[in-house]
Amino acid sequence: MRAIVKSGEIPGILAYQDRGPIGWCSVAPRERFHSLNRSRVLKGIDKTPVWSIVCFFVARPYRRSGLMGELLRGASKKGDQEKLVELRHTLHTLGYEGDALRQTDGRLLIALNAAVNMVMPRLQAMLDAQKPGADLERARHNVEVFRTMVGSGRFLGSRHDDVRKLQTWLVDVKEGDVPSDNDSMFRMFSGLDLRE
């Protein structure tokens, strides 16, 4: 981090209160995140230039206060200044406003982050470990729809009940509230009916 700052590159945005930093969001053009570019499962799906949000930090006294949503809005404004689509607009068009927007956009972003960073790399191994049958075919279908939705940016804004169920599960996985072994993942994906 020191090397990045010394190089003059801006490694994201900061939230301050009373002259002290209380939160940070890492946001930059995707090509700056070398681990994403090297990843077999997280690499870009086309040549469209996009920005990525890969990390948040909120000081303990400010957690559950809506600060993550504010950081997301700040990152979106930074992106908007760079001629990017504002993520906040997506949530607003879905009807999230005021407190609901502050609570929801951070929660959905956590779900998306968990989907990409924790679950996506393990999906194929989870499928390969299962016995052939109808449940496996349903899980395969749902995994493909999930990958497509995440890759196209539609996972975050979907109103489909099973997508919402998957978003909630991903947040619980990220927070360690539910198991995320192959069998648990298979039960989740075979029990969904995802549609593009």
Q: Which residue has the tokens 């995707």?
A: 30
Largest CA distance in the chain: 59
pLDDT (average), residues 106-111: 59
Residue boundaries of the structural domains of the chain: 1-85, 86-196
> Which residue is listed with tokens 């020191």?
2
Query: In the beta sheet, which residues pair with residue 58?
Result: 23
Q: Taking the mean position of all CA atoms in its chain, how far away is CA 76?
A: 14
Percent of the chain with pLDDT over 70: 72
For residue 51, the surrounding DSSP H or E stretch is strand 51-58
**What are the tokens at 24?**
């940070």
Q: What is the reported pLDDT for 9?
A: 72
Tokens (6 digits) for 28: 């930059």
Contact by Cβ (8 Å): 89, 153 = no
Reported as a single tens digit per residue, the pLDDT across 139-170 is 999 999 988 887 776 776 677 889 888 888 88
- Listing DSSP states for 52-69 in one string gives EEEEEEE-GGGTTTTHHH
Q: Which residues contact 78 (CB under 8 A, 6 or more apart)?
A: 13, 27
H/E stretch holding 24 reads: strand 20-29
Helix, strand, coil shares of the chain as percentages rounded to 5? Answer: 55, 10, 30
For the 1-85 domain, the top CATH level (class) is alpha beta
Which pLDDT value is given to residue 170?
Answer: 83
Backbone angles phi, psi at 71, to 5 degrees: -65, -40
Local confidence band at 87 (pLDDT 50, 70, 90 cut-offs): very low
Most confident of 100-104, 116-120, 184-188: 184-188
Higher pLDDT, 24 or 79: 24
The pair of three-digit structure tokens given for residue 66, joined into one six-digit string: 């809506």
Q: Where is pLDDT greater, at 120 or 174? A: 120
* % of the chain with per-residue pLDDT over 90: 21
Query: What's the pLDDT band for 84 if we cut at 50, 70, 90?
Result: very low
Enumerate helices (H) and strands (E) in the chain, giving the number of each.
Answer: 9, 3
